């Protein structure tokens, strides 16, 4: 189930064909999911990868920018993006304690792809904490799982909810995970596509808003997975990581500005105010397709011709990014299923429950 299937429209823009980040040309998404209950060990985790240029980013970098709303989280590869404005690898999502192995596996994959063409790589790996449902200390994600996620990368519809890196995640005290959405601008606005992919693992129940309605205030009958007596955490702990992609020809500083607008979409759903949440966002633009790869000792031309979106046209991209992030988070929640692990159970936000809550706070179907 996705939010639009309930008759709830986020914003006024038009989604792409798949209403997913894969509506941006060349972008592919792959998952590998781990779901194992083995005696006392619960393994509910995985890897999600985003390929900006259909697996060829090491040869065709794209401009990118990052924004950290709250730094209670970790990521690799962001400093080079801040410095050079370039994304040169896939982006991966996983759990907090698996960042290292996923990063190393992406290095190995780039080595095989690059051979003599690539001298180094700095993969981007983003994380959120799944230790309430997953044996996070066991570090069960392996290099093989990263390879399987890369092999799974494809365009088209994107699986949401309990999948890949989002398998063990919690959002607003309901089951969370992976979600995605997109917007296509009108020809008068430039005709570009903006897509977002989130790994949602943040938020307190009472703050949850859907389409501007404070549904979290009337959803207190659903048990919270957090219990101080059992020492399984507190409401609001966790994080959210967000990737925004576009085919607009943005320069690096414009990508940074686009990444900042993820904060708007997150705030609309009720996030962005918790000390214990790591809120880290990245945006990349594939609109300039001729950026040279690093090829030390064999440099190409000294300059590269570029295009740039004029600032008079960039507001529509900001609106699209905020709307896509907002809808992606809601899709992550509605796409999820109930999950039990590590002695805890997290219930999903059921469509009928959400509709009842919306009606209770004044929403009426159009």
Q: Catalogue the active-site residues.
A: 239, 277, 279
Strand partners, 180: 197
Contacts of 106 (CB under 8 A, 6+ apart): 89, 90, 92, 121, 123, 125, 146
Q: Report the chain's terminal Cα–Cα distance, integer Å.
A: 19
Q: What is the C-alpha separation between 117 and 209, in angstroms, rounded?
A: 48
Give the H/E segment covering residue 35. Answer: strand 28-38
Strands 236-246 and 41-51: unpaired
CA-closest candidate to residue 134, choices 42, 226, 199? 42
CA gyration radius, the chain: 20
Distance CA 121, CA 198 (A): 24
Q: Sign of the C-alpha dihedral, residues 131, 334, 165, 63?
A: negative
| Burial of 79 per CB tally in 10 Å (0-12, 13-18, 19+) | exposed
Q: Which ranges of the chain would DSSP assign to H, the alpha helix?
A: 78-84, 99-114, 143-152, 252-260, 262-269, 314-334, 351-360
């Amino acid at each position: 189930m996705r939010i639009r299937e309930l008759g709830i429209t986020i914003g006024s823009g038009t989604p792409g064909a798949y209403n997913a980040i894969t509506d941006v040309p060349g972008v592919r998404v792959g998952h590998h999911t781990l779901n194992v209950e083995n005696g006392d060990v619960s393994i509910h985790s995985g890897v999600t990868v985003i390929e900006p240029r259909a697996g060829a980013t090491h040869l065709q970098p794209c401009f990118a920018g990052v924004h950290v709303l709250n730094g209670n989280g970790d990521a690799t590869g962001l400093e080079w993006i801040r410095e050079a404005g370039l994304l040169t690898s896939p982006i991966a999502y996983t759990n907090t304690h698996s960042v290292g192995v996923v990063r190393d596996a992406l290095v190995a994959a780039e080595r095989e792809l690059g051979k003599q063409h690539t001298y180094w790589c700095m993969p981007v790996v983003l994380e959120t904490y799944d230790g309430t449902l997953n044996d996070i200390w066991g570090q069960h994600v392996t290099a093989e799982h990263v390879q399987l996620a890369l092999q799974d990368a494809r365009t088209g519809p994107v699986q949401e909810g309990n999948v890949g890196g989002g398998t063990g995640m919690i959002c607003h005290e309901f089951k969370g995970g992976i979600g995605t959405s997109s917007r296509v601008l009108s020809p008068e606005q430039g005709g570009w596509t903006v897509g977002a992919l989130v790994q949602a693992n943040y938020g307190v129940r009472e703050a949850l808003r859907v389409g501007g309605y404070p549904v979290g205030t009337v959803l207190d009958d659903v048990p919270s997975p957090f219990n101080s007596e059992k020492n399984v955490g507190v409401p609001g702990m966790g994080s959210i990581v967000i990737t925004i992609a576009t085919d607009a020809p943005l320069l690096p500083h414009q990508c940074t500005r686009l990444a900042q607008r993820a904060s708007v979409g997150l705030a609309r759903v009720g996030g962005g105010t918790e000390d214990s949440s790591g809120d880290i966002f990245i945006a990349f633009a594939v609109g300039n397709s001729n950026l040279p790869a690093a090829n030390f000792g064999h440099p190409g031309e000294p300059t590269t011709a570029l295009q740039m979106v004029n600032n008079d046209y960039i507001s529509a991209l900001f609106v699209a990014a905020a709307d896509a992030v907002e809808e992606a988070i809601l899709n992550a929640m509605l796409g999820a299923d109930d999950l039990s692990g590590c002695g805890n159970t997290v219930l999903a936000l059921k469509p009928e429950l959400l509709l009842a809550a919306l009606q209770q706070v004044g929403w009426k179907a159009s």
